[in-house]
């Protein structure tokens, strides 16, 4: 387990719901004696937000505007030559470890599988080569997420993979290490496949490392 992966996991847990709201509620309880209005107010606000975010309607209310920030790659499917892209890059979204229905093998999780399905559709429409990016598991397993993705694309979607980036632990490393592989083959413009919520940050990071997305 790398320190970067551990730091990202801890920071994400502390800064994102539900733990950040639980901590805010506990802070309000701790402050209620010294600040009898502020403390209960913080706790009530945290509880209300937690209830809203725990509901389907509340989640959709917050997620929908974020998903609209990024348009799907429809143009690449309908007019592939106009995109100017030279490769497709697919980012891993995680794995399911020791899946019993697959003989105890690790497999891509459902988020990653959705990305692979879309990447396969793009590859068939454009004929562009594929790069899959995802590092080694934190439990010390022997197979990278990129290797899992390549196997699914090959066996289940009959789509070849040209490059495997197998060392990254986060989006910044996805970009940095993928750029090295792509530049060696003269690739400067890509179609990037990830989740809609993740896309704005991923696009910005890949652009920072010099790729046009």
- Write the CATH number for 174: 3.40.50.620
- 137 and 33 housed in the same domain: no
Least confident residue range of 7-11, 38-42, 92-96, 104-108: 7-11
Within-domain flag for 20 = yes
Q: Do 133 and 168 touch, CB atoms closer than 8 A?
A: yes
- 120 and 38 housed in the same domain: no
- 102 and 192 housed in the same domain: yes
Percent of the chain with pLDDT over 70: 87
- Tokens 């694309």 locate to 153
| Tally of structural domains, the chain | 2
**Residues contacting 31, CB < 8 A, separation 6+:** 38, 39, 42
Q: Do 174 and 71 touch, CB atoms closer than 8 A?
A: no
Is the pLDDT confidence value at 182 over 80?
Answer: yes
* Amino acid 52: pLDDT: 86
Q: Do 143 and 150 touch, CB atoms closer than 8 A?
A: no
Within-domain flag for 96 = yes
- 86 and 119 housed in the same domain: yes
* Angle subtended at Cα 125 by Cα 121 and Cα 129, rounded to the nearest 5 degrees: 85
pTM over 0.85: no
- 142 and 198 housed in the same domain: yes
For 102, 109, 124, the CA distances from 106, given in Å and listed in that order, are: 8, 9, 26
The string of pLDDT tens digits covering residues 125-181 is: 999 999 999 998 776 667 899 999 999 999 999 999 999 999 999 999 999 999 999
Range of the domain at 87: 74-208
d(CA 89, CA 68): 21
């Amino acid at each position: 387990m790398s320190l970067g992966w551990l730091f990202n996991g801890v920071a994400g847990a502390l800064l994102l719901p539900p733990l950040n709201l639980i901590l805010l509620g506990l802070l309000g309880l701790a402050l209620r004696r010294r600040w009898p209005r502020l403390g209960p107010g913080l706790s009530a606000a945290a509880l209300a937000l937690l209830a809203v975010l725990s509901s389907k309607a509340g989640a959709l209310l917050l997620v929908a505007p974020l998903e609209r920030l990024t348009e799907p790659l429809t143009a690449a499917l309908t007019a592939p030559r106009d995109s100017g892209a030279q490769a497709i890059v697919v980012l891993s979204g995680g794995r399911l470890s020791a899946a019993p229905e697959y003989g105890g093998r690790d497999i891509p999780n459902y988020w990653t599988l959705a990305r692979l399905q879309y990447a396969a559709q793009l590859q068939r429409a454009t004929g562009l080569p594929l790069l899959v990016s995802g590092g080694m598991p934190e439990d010390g397993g022997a197979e990278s997420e990129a290797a899992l993705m390549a196997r699914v694309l090959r066996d289940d979607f009959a789509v070849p993979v040209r490059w495997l980036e197998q060392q990254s632990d986060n989006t910044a490393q996805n970009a940095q290490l993928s750029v090295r592989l792509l530049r060696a083959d003269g690739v400067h413009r890509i179609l990037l496949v990830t989740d809609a919520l993740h896309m704005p940050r991923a696009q910005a990071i890949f652009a920072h490392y010099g790729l046009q997305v």
